[in-house]
Structure 1
Amino acid sequence: MSELDREIMRVLPDGATQGNYLSTPEIHQRVVQDALEPVTVRTINRHLTRLATTGLVEMQERGNALEWRRKAGASGMAARAGAMMTFDEALALQTLRRFSSRQIPGLVADALSSMFGVAEARLQRPNSPNEQHYSRWASKVAVESGGFALSYPVIDRELFAVVSKALFEERKLEMVYRPRHNADNETPKVVLPLGLVEVGGLVYLIGGTEGKQEPTMYRMDRLWQAKALPEAFSYPATFSLEQYVKQQRRFDFMVEKEVLLKLKFFDSAGDHLLEAPMAMDQKDSRKGDALYVQGTVMLSQRLRWWLRSFGPNVEVLGPASLRAELVAEAARLYGMYGN
């Protein structure tokens, strides 16, 4: 993008905040006020036309005259990228946009919306047969979740922006939280935002409380109001979000203790564990048609949900307490379905 292009972009009304357009002579008049060298109306028109083909400028006809304005969001990084974005870069951006299925990437991607627009415009203008292959690539790739599809609650984008800003700036957050047992709550509380975690389609704020050692998990979709306070806080040096999630397994729900889990799988139900182990110390062997797998895991409700998903295709051999629990559960199921 040339210096003249940048100057034209500077004087154009922004489509995101202003509804008006400027005619070519009006743009010329504004540009020449600060121009170091003479610039003609014809030159301005030629540059505007080129900027429009890159998706940075939009045009309308008023009688016989052409009027222009900057496309919504076509500034900053997008404006610089528009004139020089390659097809590889455009394809990468559009792929990122299409396949970021999780909520947090989708929410933070708002900042790149103008770049996505530039990328889409670039892919719609293939200049060679090879570039036409690029433009069709996104329609040849799909991503599907391996789990049962659920419709998760939507997070308010404005509230997410407030929370993420407070988290970034390490400022206290005043919020009204409405848990399931108190859905009409109006009482605000002040938390220290320590992290955001997405688990199974739900997004949680990890918030500390002054005077309380352990942080609390808050579902973002249950946030009713949020306001970042001017007061900053010192992010605790003893807190590690990675440890909280990966080692303490706080999102496994009702974590109990480590156990040596011993399983017997039927009908190839556990074969995926040969490529995606359930534990670092996993051991496996086959006897006839059965696959035996064992490893050290954290006993939790999530583990139980996972085991139940295999139905009669898995037998828990150990620990004995978990086996007895599932035996009792199977008896209750038989009582429900036996007749």
Structure 2
Amino acid sequence: MDTTIRYLTMLRMIPREPSWITVQDMRRKLVDHGYKVTLRTIQRDLIKLESYFPLRCSDDQNQYGWSWLKVAGVLNIPGLDPHTALTLKFVDLHLRRLLPPSVLKFLNPYLENADAVLEGASGPELSGWLDQIRVLSRGQRLQAPTIRDEVLAVIYDALLQGRRFSAHYRPRFGTGETKGYEINPLGLVVRDQVIYLVCCLKEYDNVIQFVLHRFESAELLNTPRRTPPDFDLDAYIQSGAFDMIRGEWIPLTALIDGNVAFHLGESALAEDQVLERQSDGRYRLTAIVRDTLQLRWWLLGFGEQVEVLEPAALREEFAERVRKLAERYQREG
């Protein structure tokens, strides 16, 4: 019985390609689980398991590693129930609009397992459920940029293991040539269809961002990751790193049309938001908000349905934008 449980424990430790685990690492984890086994025993066990499961041993003679084949199914104990399978499919419908295929590819075995469970489930309610669910976006949907599979695997491993990685990155501006970096990964931030790596370089404390789709290559290093003192990902985001803050908190006052007011009545702009109906049918909106570029994009997205009153500087900025826009449209095409 102990051997069977050890086999199951080992199978759960083995990652899917392109990641892998060495026999030495597996032995350390097994010891942590209370199993007293030798490297030779683990090697013999893995060879035996390979004859029953789609496992693969790497060809690297310096350090053999084991992984599940990419096409391997998911070993679920206990099995996936229909309601959990439905939840996974709903997650898939939502995430496929946010994340690039290279990221979602890690979920494919679980989604395929969910499909198999739903196909085998009895009752028309389950089989037709996905035909009754759709996920829509209020904004213009953009195609997610492509991220290299091997790069993504290295970044994930570096974050999980607390290690540095070296990489070649293509800057946004420049000649198109890549630059080499030694990176301390601190976290990932997903914004719309773009995934950002928050990190610092070598021994520096300055926190910067890279977008994952501009990495051309990456290699995991044995050097431990260096984290700047008192770094906190949430605090970094709240500081305005991704909202591109122009100033501080501002008191916003605007006149908005009824449909915008209805929207804000259900999803408030701020906790202190106040909506007051005016004699012309519009609503007076007041709220304390961050002075960000994101706020400007959001307000401008409503077009003529929103008129900013205060702050005066923001109203003048919008008026200047409108003047420039009108000039462009008055020109002959």
- TM-score, length of structure 2 as denominator length: 0.73
Counterpart Cα distance in 1 of 2:163 and 2:243? 29
Structure 2 residue 237 is the aligned partner of structure 1 residue 252: no
Larger Cα Rg: Structure 1 or Structure 2? 1
Partner of 2:252: 261
The corresponding residue for 1:176 is: 168
- The answer on 1:286 being equivalent to 2:277 is yes
Shift of 1:15: 5.1
- In structure 2, the partner of 1:73 is 72
Q: Deviations over 1:90-118 (max 9, x none)?
A: 32233333332355596555444333322
1:208 aligns with 2:200: yes
Contact 2:256–2:306 under 8 Å retained in 1: yes
| Deviation readout 1:51-94 (Å, 9 max, x if unpaired) | xxxxxxxxxxxxxxxxxxx994235x33x34xx43222332233
Q: Supply the distance in 2 between the matched residues of 1:255 and 1:160 (Cα, whole angstroms).
A: 32
**Residue type matched to 2:227 in 1?**
Y
Percent of matched pairs sharing the same residue: 27
Maintained 8 Å contact 1:206/1:215: yes
Q: Which residue of 1 aligns with 2:115?
A: 120
Residue in structure 2 matched with residue 59 of structure 1 by the alignment: none
Matches within 5 A, 1:86-235: 86-101=81-96, 103=98, 110-126=105-121, 128-129=122-123, 132-182=124-174, 184-235=176-227
| Cα distance between partner residues in 2 of 1:294 and 1:101 | 36
Aligned-partner Cα distance in 1 for 2:147–2:186 = 18
Give a deviation string over 1:130-162, Cα, whole Å, max 9, x none: xx3112211211101111122231222221111
Where does residue 308 of structure 1 map in the other structure? Answer: 300
Instruction: Write out the 4+ residue segments of structure 1 that deviate beyond 4 Å after TM superposition.
Output: 9-18, 102-112
Count of residues in Structure 1 that have an aligned counterpart in Structure 2: 275
What is the one-letter code of the residue matched to 1:199? R
> Residues 217-236 of structure 1: CA distance to partner in whole angstroms, max 9, x if unpaired?
11111111111211002434
- Read off the aligned partner of 2:127 and give its amino acid letter: S
Provide the C-alpha distance between the structure 1 equivalents of 2:145 and 2:107, rounded to a whole number of angstroms.
23
Return the alpha-carbon distance in structure 2 between the equivalents of residues 254 and 224 of structure 1: 30
Query: 2:256 touches 2:283 (CA, 8 Å); kept in 1?
Result: yes
Residue identity opposite 1:115 in structure 2: Y
Q: CA deviation at 1:300?
A: 1.8
Compared with structure 1, are the counterparts of its residues 106 and 161 closer, same or farther at alpha carbon in structure 2 (3 Å cutoff)?
A: same
Partner-residue secondary structure (3-state), 1:124: helix
Residue aligned with 1:281, SS: coil
AA aligned to 2:310 is G
SS at match of 1:119: helix
Task: Measure the CA separation in 1 of the matches of 2:70 and 2:248.
Answer: 56
One-letter amino acid matched to 1:259: I
- Is the alpha carbon distance of 1:163 and 1:12 closer, same or farther for their aligned partners in structure 2, counting shifts above 3 Å? same
Give the Å deviation of 1:270: 3.5
Residues 136 and 16 from structure 1, CA distance in 2 versus in 1: closer, same or farther, beyond 3 angstroms?
Answer: farther
